[in-house]
Copies of this chain bind each other. A is one copy, B any other.
């Protein structure tokens, strides 16, 4: 006698079971049993259980930390990406903090294409981090044509953050014609992962913004957002209060 079951993968079924359990039997921040116990309880190998946990983490339902354990994640935080107002990065009141700046003549090919820079052309690179609700949510590399901010930027500042702020300040003085953006999935580079308090390779949402001034591409920002904890918001809607129960 053959059952008429769809051959659903074990980890898939496991995921839905766990997902339901999270909704009904656990509260945000609560810590789950460890992976070996969970696997035993469900009668599967640890690798199979981990496949289910991985998906749930990807969907922002779980948070796993090595040496600590697996906890139930809070709802994703909405982070505004397009604050209707079209402004340069570093405008007053954003949640970004400048970390450091440097100057280089080698940028990723994709950035060079967007910036329309010739090979070897100098650009300023500013590193910034974004914090929301006390948690780091994004790391960014901002590329600015050096010729656009040549005045008033002294790169020999003893304090790296001061140099970064100087570049951002110089930008504010320019007219901003417009900006456009792309969003895609990526995996965190080692450097960004550290800023985001995640392991290298973690899934991230990569937001690429191009700033146009005087008919030319003047700056390009590559921002990597934690995909597990962030929901990017565009337009007028305010990130709704997290009271939904």
A interface with B by C-beta (< 8 Å)? 12, 15, 55, 58-60, 76, 78, 82, 113, 178-187, 200-201, 203, 205, 210, 227-228, 230-237, 240, 244
- Let me know if B59 and A182 touch, CB within 8 A: no
Other-chain residue from B60, B203, B235 in contact with A178 (beta carbon distance below 8 A) = B235
The residue among A113, A179, A236 with the most chain B CB atoms within 10 A of its own CB is A236
Subset of 22 A-B contacts with CB under 8 Å: A12-B201, A58-B186, A58-B187, A58-B203, A60-B184, A82-B234, A113-B244, A178-B235, A179-B235, A180-B233, A180-B234, A180-B236, A182-B231, A182-B234, A182-B237, A183-B231, A183-B232, A184-B205, A184-B231, A184-B232, A185-B205, A203-B203
Q: What are the residues of chain B within 8 A of A15 when measuring CB–CB? A: 201
- Let me know if B181 and A233 touch, CB within 8 A: yes
- Let me know if B59 and A187 touch, CB within 8 A: yes
Copies of this chain, count: 2
Other-chain residue from B76, B200, B237 in contact with A180 (beta carbon distance below 8 A) = B237
Q: What are the residues of chain B within 8 A of A78 when measuring CB–CB? A: 182
In the complex, A234→B187 CA distance in Å? 21
Q: What are the residues of chain B within 8 A of A233 when measuring CB–CB? A: 180-182
In the complex, A179→B235 CA distance in Å? 7
In the complex, A15→B188 CA distance in Å? 13
Q: Which 8 A-B pairs have the closest CB atoms?
A: A180-B237, A180-B235, A185-B227, A184-B231, A181-B234, A183-B232, A182-B233, A182-B231
